[in-house]
Amino acid sequence: MQGESRFDRESPDAAASAGRKADKGREGSPGLRLGGIVIDAVDLDRLARFWSALLDLRVTRREEDWVSLGPGLALQRVPEPKIAKNRVHLDLVADDFARAVVRAAELGATPAGEMHEDLWQVWRDPEGNEFCICVS
């Protein structure tokens, strides 16, 4: 359809869950899909311990400058510290919000502000990367 964007079409996950074939895109489309989220880290080991413990994910791949946690999250070593607000962040949905924020703090995260609309709170990991803990 003329003027239609990829956002206007049904997601592959939605089509699959409904038992239909996913839209493969326009002819010539490279067929891109999200493979995972990567967080930059100066201290790779420290952030790997933090995110692994917070999300209860095991290390599935380890290299000198790379750690994969579970199927969709990875960390990569970078030389520079974080200096500005994230342009992308993770929204973590908690079954038990109170326990989740206590656990995050125990692991070294710090709150970046108060609750918003009684639904989410912004936090920072030990290197300052923002993420939200959301009420389920």
Q: What is the pLDDT of residues 92-108, one digit of tens each?
A: 999 999 999 999 999 99
Q: What is the pLDDT of residue 11?
A: 53
| CA–CA dist 34, 56 (Å, integer) | 21
- pTM value is 0.78
Non-local (6+) Cβ contacts of 15 within 8 A are 21, 22, 23
Q: What is the pLDDT of residues 18-77, one digit of tens each?
A: 555 555 667 888 999 999 999 999 999 999 999 999 999 999 999 999 999 999 999 999
